[in-house]
Structure 1
Amino acid sequence: MVRSIKRIKKGEEVCVSYTDLLQPKAMRQSYLWFNHQFTCSCSRCTVSPSTLVDHALEEILASNPSFSSAGLDLNLYRDEANKKLSHYVDETITEFLSVGDPESCCKKLERVLKGGFHVEQLESKDGKSRLNCKFHPFNHIALNSYMTLASAYRIRSSDFLSFHSKTDESQLKAFEMSRISAGYSRLLAGATHHLFCSESSLIVSAVNFWKQAGEYLLTIAGSSVWNLLGLPISELSTVVKYKCSECSLMDIFGAKSILNQAERTNFGNISSDFLACVRSASPKFWRFLIHGCDYLETFKDPFDFRWLAHPHCVEEDVDFIKEDSNCEHHAEWYINARTHIYKVGMHSLVFGVILAHICYGQNSHLTTHVLNHVENFVY
């Protein structure tokens, strides 16, 4: 049985992926030829020039305010930077997987993601200058780094509690690492969804990353550490009973009724409702979730990447940590943040269920697993 997110016309080709579709075209083709001895001829691989998605997956941001690019081929410098950045990230991830030092991995990856790579002295009419190159958030290496960082911070949180006495201080420190892990997971889901909207073959990646983001956010929302912030865990019981006033996802909740509704309703309508709701709720807790992580703090919003056009316009919204804030303000801020963390976490899981149903069918292992996770958390 073949399922598709759009109608399959008579005689139309149905393609099956043999490789990671979140890699740019050249890497996919190289992998297929080396491992399976064939060249893919699907529309995405054969179109010229490459699709916007493939272009984004290998995009490098180059900047230097004092550098004039007139007369120089910046692609040569981008290629040089891309090779060195890629080699550094690959080495760091390989070291993490073999040695198992999550703290070192986090420091190295975040340093290169935030600082980029300086191409050596460039000759221009104004003299010598240096070009700074960084990964675009949609670059496949950046996406792979987000996956690794989400996992590494989660491991660090678990290890910290295992190796330290469970004092309030150690629990807060572990909670901080869990927050940042959820932040990377949320950023990964948002970036991948943007790509999925332009390339439907990325639905499997979208399923996995929305599912992971939802699980991580719900773990944060349900943490007992909120007690240490003056917010009793019992407060969560009132949060989970809410009905979303901005979209229909939670109204069609009754577990499998989600899937029945998805079959009867245009997927585009469900997706639009979901996006509008998540886009509205995310800024209400994003600054709290990522506080303390220099790289993530460069992102104003994990779902709206228009900030790339104005990289220096990042709002600061850290009222929740100001010492001169009163306790009442703290409690109100935390309750609001926790409510929206739960809201986006549950929406992410439910949307993951719908995508999994489209991709694998209602009785698939993944669809059942996500549905059970949703039901267990609510009921």
Structure 2
Amino acid sequence: MEMQARKEVGLAQDLIPPLPPLAAALHRRFFSSHCAGCFRPLEFPFPCAGCRGVTHYCDASCCAADFPAHYSSGECHFLRLHHEGDSSDIRAALRLLHFLESMGSLPSPSLPERPRRVAGLLASDLDKVLEEGGELAERITEGATLMSVARDRDRSQVTGGQEAVTTEEVLWAVITNAVEVHVNEVGALGVAVFGPGFSWFNHSCMPNACYRFELAQRSGGCGAYELESFLVSPAAAGLATESFNAWISGENKLAHGFSNIGPRVIVRSIKPIQKDEEVCITYIDLLEPKCDARELSFNNYSNSTYPNCEELADLFDQAMDEYRLHENPEACSKKLESMLYRSSVDQESQAGEKFKLHPLHHLSLNSYITLASAYRAQVFSMDESNNTECLKLERAAVSYTLLLAGVVHHLFLSEPSLIAVTAHFLINAAESILVLLRLPEWSFDKKLCKSEIDLIICHYPKDMMEFSLDKCRDASMRFLGSVSQILFKTWPYLTQDLTNLKNIDSPVNFNWLGSKVLNPQCFASHRELSDFIEKECVEDRYLGHRLIKDQNTRLFQLALHCFIYGRYLASICYGPECYLVHHAENILHGLCKHLLTKHS
């Protein structure tokens, strides 16, 4: 199905109100720390007596509100039988199946001319998946059997027939339609399945919208969902459109069966959207090779089909095995550094053409991510008294974190769909710098640092409720201009022990790669990007109060720019009340409080 805008939509506007799920299930690792109903952190855990305290709730009212979905679905009995391994997809399927039964809306026999759907969720090709076999087919058949046992509480044997077919279909619908629920920085809390108001958005590698989650108030209901409040409708005519309209307007009784306490999803525009334009989100990581529409594989020499690229991919996999399987971050970092060094030198391919791995290639990006993590892991395992070696490793971790953020931001200037991942990497880079600055060798002028926070905050848009493409462009140019000047002095210091990075002049300005590699189109105005950065740098040098006297102050300024600009981008794609914005604000507030306390 296509979802099209019914009217023009500007940058950073919510397209649908908070939409509750058909079913949601908390990941097992959060059973002791989060409520199984509303997903909120627990203060005074209220255990479920039915599953012998495996799951917990905020209080008795939250437990009572979730009781039909938890107990009557068979989830409670399932958890008494299976105590290990994550089973969130199976438990979400149990809840979804119970919901459909309670609404009298079990899947009807499919027709050849129509795709198979369960509660509006696409569930086609199940027979093909089961026929092909493999891990996925095994997961479906075993999961469906476990669901039947959990639902059949009075008997020990599974009764086949229609029951088994139904559980397989519902589990397949969950596997293909469920999304991970992220509401804080700890990662995905669980999975949730939403109706056509969300599930009918198509995927794009250059989406114009993204989605976020928020948690419902413990005492709140699902509220009314009027058709007029939605800015999207399915493009396909006929029964699909009628079904969607009925769902949204509440004429379909399924609309009244939403969870009252589960996580809500909100879809938000990250680009201006024209009337009748299709609204798309992404289903996968936009930096994955299969979603790379930018044709940036190599530095004007070759493409990813050459054997050399396969050889480098093998080296990367070997390095990852050292990290994940053998828990040896030092060996992992050495292998990746060797791989990047080999790829930085021109090589002859079997076809006799020049081959050179591009710094923006997906293998390079994955290497930066892994190296930042591997170097930091080495610091954690070292003796704290070895300050010199710790400082060296932390500098390496910061260097690769900054390079990753800079590369992704560079791509974002050409394709705004990368705004969400750019915000995450920028804030992560800022946190990495702060870890470096906390090492014993560093000291601060607390008064100067407090003034820098106030000054840099004023450097970016103050009103997070009003967004425009022009304001976003200006903020991006200001960020590049400011950090380019800072990195002119700090980048050589950070990379002094890293041979592979000495050839990279800057982690944010990639003009040295040549104009043919990537020419930012979306946010670049009629002026050249390099001209804008140069002018910003001159202004920075001109302002006396912005003069930087020492290295740690420069790094502190760099961290502040990444935090505040990253927070601004996050507020565009997720809204000013999202967890990532709050996370950045909490860190900034903590810095201000710490500096004021120390200074006084």
1:5 aligns with 2:232: no
Contact 1:153 1:177 in 2 (8 A): yes
Query: Counterpart of 1:149 in structure 2: which amino acid?
Result: L
Give the superposition deviation at 1:81: 0.8
Give the superposition deviation at 1:150: 0.5
Query: Counterpart of 1:282 in structure 2: which amino acid?
Result: L
The 5 A counterparts of 1:106-185 are: 106-116=333-343, 133-161=355-383, 166-167=384-385, 170-185=386-401
Contact 2:348 2:354 in 1 (8 A): no
Question: Number of matched residues?
Answer: 296
Contact 1:60 1:139 in 2 (8 A): no
**SS of alignment partner, residue 494 of structure 2:** helix
Contact 1:252 1:261 in 2 (8 A): no
Distance 2:453 2:322 in 1: 45
Give the superposition deviation at 1:171: 1.1
Moved more, 282-291 or 91-100: 91-100
Who is 2:298 aligned against?
Answer: 59
Distance 1:121 1:352 in 2: 40
Give the superposition deviation at 1:59: 2.3
Moved more, 132-141 or 338-347: 132-141
Query: Counterpart of 2:273 in structure 1: which amino acid?
Result: I
1:196 aligns with 2:403: no
1:367 aligns with 2:581: yes
User: Structure 1, unaligned stretches of length 5 or more?
Assistant: 29-49, 63-73, 125-130, 227-232, 311-332
Normalized per residue, the structure richer in helix is 1
Contact 1:110 1:295 in 2 (8 A): yes
Give the superposition deviation at 1:236: 4.2
Give the superposition deviation at 1:309: 4.7
Moved >4 Å (runs of 4+): 117-124, 260-265
1:352 aligns with 2:566: yes
Contact 2:316 2:367 in 1 (8 A): yes
Who is 2:307 aligned against?
Answer: 80
Query: Counterpart of 2:295 in structure 1: which amino acid?
Result: H
* C-alpha RMSD of the superposition: 3.0
Contact 2:271 2:416 in 1 (8 A): no
Distance 1:298 1:132 in 2: 19
Give the superposition deviation at 1:94: 3.2
**SS of alignment partner, residue 3 of structure 1:** strand
Larger radius of gyration between Structure 1 and Structure 2: 2
Give the superposition deviation at 1:156: 0.8
Distance 1:122 1:193 in 2: 34
Who is 1:96 aligned against?
Answer: 323
Contact 2:347 2:356 in 1 (8 A): no
Distance 1:75 1:293 in 2: 27
Who is 2:510 aligned against?
Answer: 305
**SS of alignment partner, residue 306 of structure 2:** helix
Distance 1:14 1:370 in 2: 29
Give the superposition deviation at 1:237: 4.2
1:220 aligns with 2:442: no
Query: Counterpart of 1:209 in structure 2: which amino acid?
Result: F
Contact 1:300 1:307 in 2 (8 A): yes
Inter-CA distance 122–16: structure 2 relative to 1 (3 Å threshold): closer
Give the superposition deviation at 1:299: 1.4
Give the superposition deviation at 1:193: 0.6
- With normalisation by structure 2, the TM-score equals 0.45
Query: Counterpart of 2:309 in structure 1: which amino acid?
Result: N
Who is 2:464 aligned against?
Answer: 259
Distance 1:102 1:284 in 2: 29
**Per-residue deviation, residues 24-45 of structure 1 (Å, max 9, x unmatched):** 3xx24xxxxxxxxxxxxxxxxx
Query: Counterpart of 1:259 in structure 2: which amino acid?
Result: M
Query: Counterpart of 1:92 in structure 2: which amino acid?
Result: A
Query: Counterpart of 1:340 in structure 2: which amino acid?
Result: R
1:206 aligns with 2:411: no
Contact 1:240 1:342 in 2 (8 A): no
Inter-CA distance 140–119: structure 2 relative to 1 (3 Å threshold): same
Query: Counterpart of 2:287 in structure 1: which amino acid?
Result: L
User: Structure 2, unaligned stretches of length 5 or more?
Assistant: 1-15, 17-266, 516-546, 594-600
**SS of alignment partner, residue 266 of structure 1:** helix
**Per-residue deviation, residues 268-327 of structure 1 (Å, max 9, x unmatched):** 1222111111112111211111111111222121122232359xxxxxxxxxxxxxxxxx
1:105 aligns with 2:332: yes
Contact 1:213 1:348 in 2 (8 A): yes
Give the superposition deviation at 1:240: 3.3
Query: Counterpart of 1:177 in structure 2: which amino acid?
Result: L
Inter-CA distance 172–132: structure 2 relative to 1 (3 Å threshold): farther
Distance 1:137 1:236 in 2: 37
Identity of aligned residues (%): 30
Give the superposition deviation at 1:91: 2.6
Contact 2:430 2:560 in 1 (8 A): yes
Inter-CA distance 272–259: structure 2 relative to 1 (3 Å threshold): same
Contact 2:340 2:364 in 1 (8 A): yes
Distance 1:9 1:120 in 2: 47
Contact 2:426 2:562 in 1 (8 A): yes
The 5 A counterparts of 1:221-370 are: 221-226=437-442, 233-242=443-452, 249-251=456-458, 257=462, 259-260=464-465, 266-309=471-514, 335-370=549-584
**Per-residue deviation, residues 151-185 of structure 1 (Å, max 9, x unmatched):** 11111111113xxxx43xx1121011111100100
Query: Counterpart of 1:277 in structure 2: which amino acid?
Result: S
Distance 1:220 1:258 in 2: 31
